[in-house]
Structure 1
């Protein structure tokens, strides 16, 4: 009797590795459960951690007779506030608040805080909206007196150390590939990942730079563009160029949703998927 035919599962399961997956038996259980791709998050861990985990994946996949791909995920630029002397503050709607690039890293209070992005004052102007902590708090820029950005709180709440900053509508000029990313890219080649995710690309040029940096040694590594900046979806040509410069795209809903707004996210997500399929990615 012939066995029934099963359709190919187009949706793939990606699992991020970390300390929890290092425990005995966990990796085997993940692969047995159907994981197709393991993600190595270069935001955390040392090169030897990633090497050890990927070796364990290869061995476990062989035991289970499975092909499991490895995705290295570069951190990309992290635009964050610095730290508060008391660990956290509460911002009230309507109050003044200053992002001060000259302030000591641990000296923040309820009136001002430092910032890890030294050129913020060059990237914003009066009327811009800055979104903190994944959009939970909103600041309206009143004026810029470099190195300080003076704002008024439009949506308040608790704000703690090292929270992210997004500019509504995009426009922060941080390079997609940082010095750390360049070092991690070399690690990715060395340990033998199958795919490499580039965070926050603004244009095809960012993907092309990553390909150049991979060079001959990394020519078999597929590039994945993480679509999470408003600039990447601002016009059809830019999006198509990014897709063409990549082997795959990832809809990074968190940061993208913060920059373009939740109301626009679903439609834009569908457009990204449709264009990727049309362009055979």
Structure 2
């Protein structure tokens, strides 16, 4: 039977009210008791707005923060801006915009904290300072990695003049610039390990082979695979200025070995430098 007219509309309203009462506020399970309504909310037949919103979208153009909901929105916006600024590859213009946003939000939060009485003000200020300190640490790390990437970029154009030791140093700086913690091993008795690297729980070993001519074959990679297993590493990186034979590439495809030759070195340096950076010319002998 079709439902028409005011009676149908009233039935639908009652159904929505019942569903809202069962669901409760966001983050609670269905059927949980609903929180007490605000004074005057009883009998209005609608969920309280406090059940729906805990923050409001941050408005970058607004001169100040005026409420707790706006404050929470500002903190959410700030945390996301910090993540984007220091965890993504960005152009220079994008970095500048995010730096400006972070400064503005921190300033507004500081001003809002000064207007609060009681313990709320110091609590907000401590929260703001924690993010500010995290930003300073991330900025220092980003600057250190940028300088390392720049040194690697300069050495890339001079690879044909490096010594084997200089090439190993170049590879170490390059791995640091792309986010690895690096421990230089090298020397006698290194068992084919020149560097130990780690990033986000991934442990790896690096072997550096500096030669202008020639091809790396599968026998060298088979020996390196034994070194990887013996060291308890997850992965091995075989880095060379030479090229790899087809058999070597096939062997590496079936084992935890990443092959890094001249062209791949160029790609890694560009990754470390980030988008929009000025690049030195590639070595002519690649």
Normalising to structure 1: TM-score of the pair?
0.23
Rg larger in 1 or in 2?
Answer: 2
Please state which structure has a larger fraction of its residues in helix: 2
TM-score, length-scaled by structure 2:
0.22
Q: Which has the higher contact order (CA 8 A, sep 6+)?
A: 1
Higher strand share: 1
